A and B are shown apart, each in its own frame.
Chain A
């Protein structure tokens, strides 16, 4: 008799959406999360607002959590980390450490939703000085400040007059080995630029970019309003180095439109760090024998028509563990994984 429970590994937006979907279809979801709280990276990194609709991220995650908590069809296991796996479709036996004890979870199918981690600018080959200068931040840091409603220079607490974003930090970079576009950073930088302009109207905001990649409606929802309504300055050219002069930061690089080197003073610089597979993604892939691509994201095997099946039958992957994804991608992939995981179990239950 095939086990009809579906194990979901990872309690971020993808895992939450998948758990809700499984429960809505009348199946039992077992949701394991290694942190002590559901919500994934938007929660752990303290996101302020979602891109592109500017919805309060905390409120959105509360809504997603509420949909799974106290749901009779969803068993939630927090502080739980998968340590081993055996079996196949209809009969997976997964070992985990749950609150310090070893447990075994039985499931018919598995959805991996272990997400991504933000690129660590300490590995950047350009000299951005994240570990040297207080006023050099990442998108994640800036998001926290925006959420707190207090956007000031960390070095002295003063309101900034000039803020620069540097795009593609850890993305589209052959030197680092991350040749891929992280998809969301252009949108998030532009969103944050708008928030800064609204919060500190006297502050000039610049975005240094290779190409601005505003997918779908983001073009009209974020990019043009940032320029036309909020007067954000977009400068085509990569910054190579950030140095400190007095109490200012100097951004050095090349303005490729003007065809000349540039050295511009700034009060704060925000590095648009890209996405990399989380440690959990690499770990879970190895435990289940799931194939990873050259960047260590999980490789799905169905091309454009099936974005969630992996090389291991009965194990599906969704969201940012399969590559850079925005929230819309994650939610859509969760639905697809739910449909395919239930179908895998039903195929065993219903004779051909």
Chain B
């Protein structure tokens, strides 16, 4: 026993105090601007759950009446990601809106230094917010890139009168108002807010599973005071997102030293220096997770992170690196826990790294489930149906 006049880390308690927040509460600024007639605030619908943010301020997470702002990369690369979010909403009988008139936020190119200007960026964001507001729903952002970007846009619009004036003019030409949501909410915050309800309906035991979590940079590094933290999770020193959800499902979350590092996506790097992305993803993330935790699965909450961590491992395989970790989103894991079909709903056949050993460890009969999925595909091929329906997904 060492007797020292210092408190050891386990007994040091960080107390989040909104009075000590280094930044102003943007929501108060928003409502003030609304009073002054500068903009309109989209209120969080009545049915919401409050979660604490980094400095102890509470953030309202809408349970329903959500307008699903999808991700370009999700829809293109890993469609089961968003399908799982919708499937969860349907399981709880929640009122949600899946728009067909949402545009790309264009932020990927913006962060890769490839395009655009502040007015265009802000106008695209407001156009999407307005589309949600017009149908009476609240934006729920699936994409980490869009989420981080919209927070930056909101910050800029609040602080720059000139930008507001220019965007207002563009909106007038489109016949839309300058509207900004009271909260910018990421889907993984919704999943976390729903974790206890998801756990109540858990059908697949996951208590023997170990996962590592990659928190998305654009979730917790941009306007970081707005991200969800919990004193029970890493002493509120890391975001509670994903980890809190997995723990509620009984999954053991393993810690690894490079948790703060980017997944390798890097926006610009994945476009112009893809080998760097692959190397970083394999050597700084996957290999470190394998060496330090050896998990069954990697779980994250952004399109770029899932695709980069998942789809970089083929390169590592060719170089005999320690790879082979399946990668999924928290929405997919939550849906799987509640009994969603791994192929019809999670669409895991779109993922690159072999996830069969993980699914088998969960006790799933994946050969049978693959045959069920294949039968649906055969019907489509034979022209007997145009697409799979939600009813087909739950058969």
A binding-site residues for B, Cβ under 8 Å: 46, 120, 122-123, 125, 127, 129-134, 136-137, 141, 144-145, 147-148, 150, 152, 154-157, 175-178, 241, 243-245, 250
Contacts and interface: CB of A to CB of B under 8 A. Distances in A.
A144 B4 CA distance: 9
B260 interface: yes
20 contacts: A120-B14, A122-B236, A127-B260, A131-B13, A131-B14, A131-B235, A132-B9, A132-B234, A132-B235, A134-B9, A141-B7, A145-B4, A148-B5, A152-B4, A154-B6, A155-B8, A157-B2, A243-B257, A244-B257, A245-B257
A14 to B, nearest CB: 23
Nearest to A250: B257
Contacts of A157: 2
Contact of B22 (A133, A141, A147, A178): A178
A137 B23 contact: no
A46 B5 contact: yes
Nearest to A119: B20
B258 interface: yes
A174 to B, nearest CB: 9
B395 interface: no
A145 B14 contact: no
B237 interface: yes
Interface in B322-372: none
Given A120-B14, A131-B235, A132-B237, A154 B8 contact: yes
Nearest to B256: A243
A175 B22 contact: yes
Given A131-B12, A245-B257, A123 B5 contact: no
Interface SS, B side: loop
Contacts of A177: 22-23
B216 to A, nearest CB: 15
B12 to A, nearest CB: 5
B6 A122 contact: no
Contacts of B234: 131-132
Given A120-B14, A122-B14, A136 B9 contact: yes
B20 A123 contact: yes
Contact of B260 (A145, A156, A176, A241): A241
A123 B55 contact: yes
Contacts of B257: 243-245, 250
Interface in B1-59: 2, 4-10, 12-15, 20, 22-23, 55
Contacts of B119: none
Contact of B5 (A120, A131, A134, A145): A145
Nearest to B235: A131
Contacts of B8: 134, 154-155
Given A131-B237, A148-B4, 8 more contacts: A122-B236, A123-B14, A130-B9, A131-B9, A133-B9, A136-B9, A157-B2, A176-B22
B4 A150 contact: yes
B294 interface: no
Interface-centre pick from B4, B5, B260 (highest chain A CB count, 10 A): B4
Contacts of A152: 2, 4
A137 B6 CA distance: 8
Contacts of B15: 122
Contacts of A155: 8
